Amino acid sequence: MARPARVSPDRILAAAALEFAERGFAGARVDRIARRARVNKAMLYYHFKSKDGLYRTLLRRMFTLAAGRLRAIADASAPHADKVDRVIATMAAFVDEHAFFPAIMLREVADGGAHLDRETLTALAALPAAVGGIVQQGVRARAFRDTPPMFAYFSMLAPVIFYLAGARIRKEIAHLKVVDMRESSTDDFIRHMQHATRRSLARARHARTS
């Protein structure tokens, strides 16, 4: 017979992810996380030490998982431009699995990592590190024009995160009918970003003397 599975910390983390993504750290309510996870609040403090502890555990997992996938792309052997395509597609797929990711990312950037300890910050840093590495490979191989890796990181992933996090507010705005916010498919947007990034990194067709 199936064990009543006691209280799974994973269920708490899943509930916390939704709450933190929807409301941010300050707006999140521990009671609400506990209720969502159908767990006594004290259990939450039993498994994680505090609201901060829970938050950091969640983020560390999330960042580590995402960075792992990006590093796999970096280590693979494929044309440089294809790797960049994959970075974008991989982030989109990651968000598809973890819908709460972009909102948390946006909030964390907005408050400058205020709730993160050293370890979690290091896990976060692995994201730009992996993407930057891929760009640098391409630059060194002369497949890409000389581009600061961090610039490429921001210009290729910020729109993806922003666009995906913005689904709710775009719907609100579209609802007002004051702007044409016609929703194209997310897939189309991802393809747009892949093309834009390729064109941005591609070496000029006709070499120019600077």
Partner DNA sequence: CCATAAAAACTAACTGGTTAGTTAACTCGT
Partner DNA sequence: ACGAGTTAACTAACCAGTTAGTTTTTATGG
Residues at the interface with its own copies (CB under 8 A): 21-27, 102-104, 106-113, 116, 118, 121-122, 124-126, 128-129, 132, 147-151, 154-155, 158-159, 161-163, 165-166, 168-169, 172-173, 176, 178-182, 184, 188-189, 192-193, 195-196, 199-200, 205
- Distance of closest approach, residue 208 Cβ to its own copies, in angstroms: 13
Of 110, 66, 107, 112, the closest CA to residue 90 belongs to 66
Of 156, 148, 153, the closest CA to residue 199 belongs to 156
Among 17, 28, 62, 116, binds DNA (CB under 7 A): 28
Q: Of these partners, its own copies, DNA, none, which one is at the site of residue 138 (CB under 5 to 8 Å by kind)?
A: none
* Binding status of residue 39 toward DNA by CB under 7 A: yes
* Binding status of residue 14 toward DNA by CB under 7 A: no
Q: Of these partners, DNA, its own copies, none, which one is at the site of residue 186 (CB under 5 to 8 Å by kind)?
A: none
Q: Is the dihedral of CA 166, 171, 175, 180 positive or negative?
A: positive
> What is the per-residue DSSP string for 111-127?
TTTTT--HHHHHHHHHH
User: Do 86 and 156 meet the contact criterion of CB atoms below 8 Å apart?
Assistant: no
86: Cβ contacts below 8 Å, ≥ 6 apart = 73, 78
* Binding status of residue 195 toward DNA by CB under 7 A: no
- Distance of closest approach, residue 3 Cβ to DNA, in angstroms: 6
Q: Of these partners, its own copies, DNA, none, which one is at the site of residue 6 (CB under 5 to 8 Å by kind)?
A: DNA
User: Do 73 and 87 meet the contact criterion of CB atoms below 8 Å apart?
Assistant: yes
Between CA 152 and CA 170 the distance in angstroms is 26
* Binding status of residue 50 toward DNA by CB under 7 A: yes
